Structure 1
């Protein structure tokens, strides 16, 4: 039997490169936890982006509420909004197929707690 003076690492490197290729190709298909909504479109949409630390409130097409990408009832949403400071930036995203009453319910909560620093997102007409 032949005695090895060195360890051959080339097969190890080959395996690691194959594993890296698999991870990189599958990582692009991983869902990032975004809530699928279709924003309403408008002609006069500002190009301003929402602040990075803004609180995100989403209403999807089934009229379900989300606070920071977590599902919440209207009562839970009210409790979380009540705890916010009056100058906290808030971003409101409402699906174009959501009922208007869902939007009004959130707008009413924002007014109730004097949360006036909010943005309503829309997409630009093409």
Structure 2
């Protein structure tokens, strides 16, 4: 009884794997990821502050430039023990002069809790235009009640 599918007395198992369904699934997944990937990368990258954080390592020979905004909205630059009140227009020039002399000097921003968020953003934008590539924000650890 030989039919069209009989192999002449030997019946060996088929050793090939059919990968066509696997390829179909992979192509569908590829198309889905190609469509959704651009949607996932839109937006603004923001590093949100956390409640507790580790202190920033500071080399002993480099005092950071500390730029502060007080409750009244006045700007101050501190380098070591020297603190100077400065207008926002002059701030970029003074920071640029300091960074020209010592380019590895870290720049930190302190903002009063009551100050408007927009004023801190304006300060950060001014510092960025002055050539500050890395900017740190200073906060205080939470008070245990």
The alpha-carbon deviation at position 123 of structure 1 amounts to 1.1
Do the aligned partners of 1:45 and 1:123 also contact (CA within 8 Å) in 2?
no
What's the counterpart of residue 75 of structure 2?
65
CA distance in 2, matches of 1:103, 1:75: 14
Secondary structure of the equivalent of 2:108? Answer: strand
TM-superposed deviation, 1:121: 0.5
When normalised by structure 1's length, the TM-score is 0.57
Tell me if structure 2 keeps the 8 A contact 1:65–1:72: yes
* Residues 1:54 and 2:64 are matched in the alignment: yes
Provide runs of 4+ in structure 1 moved above 6 Å: none
Q: In the alignment, what sits opposite 1:114?
A: 131
Instruction: Report the Cα offset of residue 110 of structure 1.
Output: 2.0
Which one has a bigger Cα radius of gyration?
2
Aligned residues: 86
Q: State the Cα RMSD in Å.
A: 2.2
Question: 2 CA distance for matches of 1:64 and 1:50?
Answer: 26
Distance in structure 2 (CA, Å) of the matches to 1:87 and 1:117: 10
Q: Which runs of 5+ in 1 are unaligned?
A: 1-40
Unaligned runs of 5+ in 2: 1-48
Per the alignment, residue 75 of structure 1 pairs with 89
Provide the TM-score with structure 2 as the length reference: 0.51
Asked if 2 retains the 8 angstrom alpha-carbon contact of 1:81 and 1:109, the reply is no
- SS of the equivalent of 2:113 reads coil
- Are 2:98 and 1:90 aligned? no
* Distance of 1:42 and 1:70 partners within structure 2: 30
CA distance in 2, matches of 1:62, 1:42: 26
CA distance in 2, matches of 1:50, 1:120: 14
